[in-house]
Amino acid sequence: MANLQTTFLGIKSPNPFWLASAPPTDREVNVTRAFKAGWGGVVWKTLGEDPHIVNVNGPRYGAIHSNDRRLIGLNNIELITDRPLEVNLREIKAVKKAWPDRAIVVSLMVPCEEEAWKKILPLVEDTGADGIELNFGCPHGMSERGMGAAVGQVPEYVGMVARWCKQHTRMPVIVKLTPNITDIRAPARAAKEGGADAVSLINTINSIMGVDLDVMAPSPHIDGKATHGGYCGPAVKPIALSMVSEIARDPETHGLPISAIGGITTWRDAAEFMALGAGTVQVCTAAMTYGFKIVEEMKLGLSDWMDEKGYTSVDQFVGKAVPNVTDWQYLNLNYVVKARIDQESCIKCGRCHIVCEDTSHQAITAEKDGVRHFEVMDDECVGCNLCVSVCPVENCITMEQQTDGVDARTGQPIDPAYGNWTTHPNNPMRVAAE
């Protein structure tokens, strides 16, 4: 079996799966239950100053479901922990003592003042926690108070607070980034310049999940009023993957350790983030949906996949996909593909024809010899793969590369050589090919 043991910023854990926003309770420390279930680490639900934060007494979540009622997106208006600081600190210390082999990182959010950070850091350090995560991502409630995303959206503030924390603690400092920003690289660069040891991303995305048309207020609503919240779950995974890759391949942040967050529900999700540069993955919505034991499937699936691919440690594939992420202008414009429909697998639903006919390139027939028959016309097909995306039968439609001859659509010979937009004759700013 593959070895899932992970070392991140010198913090060791038996696997790369960390429970995010780990919620302790007075009845039983849920973190202990999470560790018993097999999680490699936790990021403790964000602590703040005393007096502690007050949360709403009412609905905090909004959801988007698929047609089969699977949760694909979750919105929350919850704030940071509403339990006293002293209680949280006591529990962190006890849990770390009982579980020394598991990673415990403490999320923090206090006012953007050096004294506030200087005051709370030694209290956390005294618990024996392995590191801290600076929550610069929360998009609601706390941001209105000058914390959370209000800090994360200003790179200068990100770097400033990171420097304060590095000056006043021995613990590794992870900066949690907000996705509610034009260019995720800017705060990541600032975090690195400020001395941060790593970044984690993404935090939740500003969102309103829907409108209750009877009450005429967004949902969820509190006494007829509502606010935007933070969006998470499987639906945000593509956004998170893109932002993680941007940091991993940016020359100014390349090599900066990353803890990935954003819709991670399966082992495959985790492997994809790790291939794009993440050293650990944080999971929250999936645990809220399926419970702590979901980590069992994640660990088993990742281990089986690693065995199949010949990886003996997670370090062997972390970042392996990063060199293959590029800018549009460097894509090979000489690469020609055409769609192919497997007639034996085709169920004659016609979805491929309808979408191609109505919204794409009219490249798929509807009938042949008076009978329903769906076939790709090479002289119209641009290889966009929209038909693959809507086909309900897996692998019924595939994309096949054309390597020689003439492209039936353009009438031009297929060039096997690599050629991109920077050298294309239609580009007025083209450069001479080497």
* Torsion 255-256-257-263 (CA) sign: negative
What b-and-e string marks burial along 178-215, b requiring 16 or more CB atoms within 10 Å of the CB?
bbbbeebbbbbbbbbebebbbbbbbbbbbbebeeeeee
DSSP codes of every residue in 297-311: HHHHHHHHHHHHHT-
Structure tokens that stand for 420 in this block: 């991109």
Structure tokens that stand for 269 in this block: 């999700």
Q: Which of 138, 346, 387, 396 is catalytic?
A: 138
Does residue 112 have an active-site annotation? no
Residues 6+ apart with CB under 8 A from 221: 59, 212, 215
**Adjacent-strand bridge partners of 12:** 7
Residue with tokens 């509403």: 82
Positions of E strands within 177-321: 198-201, 205-207, 211-212, 217-218, 229-232, 258-261, 278-283
Taking each helix axis from N to C end, the angle separating 85-98 and 114-125, rounded to the nearest 10 degrees, works out to 40
Instruction: Give the CA angle between residues 230, 55, 294 to the nearest 5°.
Output: 55
Cα–Cα distances in angstroms (integers) from residue 160 to residues 71, 134, 155, in the given order: 38, 12, 9
Question: Judging by beta carbons within 10 Å of its beta carbon (0-12, 13-18, 19+), is residue 97 exposed, middle or buried?
Answer: exposed
Positions of E strands within 306-374: 336-341, 367-368, 371-372
> Cα–Cα distance between 291 and 37 in angstroms, integer?
10
Does residue 255 sit in helix, strand or coil? Answer: coil
Closest CA to 233 of 276, 284, 275, 267: 284
Length of the chain equals: 434
| 266 close to 298: Cβ distance less than 8 angstroms | yes
User: Catalytic site residues?
Assistant: 138
